[in-house]
Chains A and B, each alone.
Chain A
């Protein structure tokens, strides 16, 4: 097919992400990945819950004194809002409005970068307090769980940026529509995982 085929809002398919066989295959394959990722994160959550507040005797850091909820609240709001802005991006993708989609993706990336910056600040702050990765079983489980989520955020941001740059002159067609759609799905999944992180790690950590 012609990668540079032009569509108009009138000729744009109703579901451009699954209009081609390749798009359908990507859609199925990507959801299978998300299901597998669910299990990956479940094992990290289970490890964290098992090792929470445990470590060598005499360890000084426990979850109740460590976490700072105002920072976590800000991070939660930023990531949740970025989930909505990517919904807007896909809304404009379905209306075949390439510029609006790119703009909303740009806002999503910006919010994601702020989130990642706050997470790096948070980790840096803990390490300076003496709560390093090798401090205790608790610290290792904490950094592995939240760090894996942070790595997903970094990957999602790189994915968005790569798509935006690579397709900046191409416009929207049925070749790249599945790519944008799946990147947005990935971004929502990252927010799904964060909902459990702020609930299980931070909120339940602060009250124990």
Chain B
């Protein structure tokens, strides 16, 4: 049956170790969250402060990119073991996405 798994009862030591590992992971997630909030604040502040457009646009796009990497690799666990195939899917998707945006924007601008 597709649902069947071999059941393994962990010892107390193993269990405590896993629990501690997960708590440590959760603290890392909180750090990522703090960074994301900080990046968002920078982006909004820069626009509110009214810097030059040519300065703001590349920087906020870069900040968005960093934030998305944090979401994908930390919140969505893309960096974990067993994510090779799904990372391949996502990068293919991002590649096609990039080409799509590039094509439509250049058609209009030129």
Contacts and interface: CB of A to CB of B under 8 A. Distances in A.
Do A and B interact?
yes
Interface of A: 1, 9-11, 13-15, 18-22, 27-28, 31-32, 34-39, 41-43, 45-47, 49-51, 69, 73, 76-77, 80, 83-84, 87-88, 91, 94-95, 174-175, 185, 188-189, 191-192, 195-196, 198-200, 203-204, 206-208
Interface residues of B, number: 58
Chain B: interface secondary structure?
helix
Given A11-B9, A31-B86, A49 B104 contact: yes
Contact of B75 (A9, A46, A83, A196): A83
A196 B68 CA distance: 9
Contacts of A32: 86, 89
Interface in B23-62: 25-26, 29-30, 33, 36-37, 40, 43-44, 47-48, 50, 53, 56-57, 60-61
Contacts of B2: 20-22
Contact of A206 (B47, B61, B104): B47
User: Which 8 residue pairs spanning A and B have beta carbons closest together?
Assistant: A42-B97, A35-B93, A46-B104, A31-B86, A1-B3, A38-B93, A35-B89, A199-B64
Contacts of B15: 9-10
Interface of B: 1-5, 7-10, 12, 15, 18-19, 22, 25-26, 29-30, 33, 36-37, 40, 43-44, 47-48, 50, 53, 56-57, 60-61, 63-64, 67-68, 71-72, 75-76, 82, 85-86, 89-90, 92-94, 96-98, 100-101, 103-105, 107-108
Contact of B33 (A11, A37, A80, A203): A80
Contacts of A21: 2-3
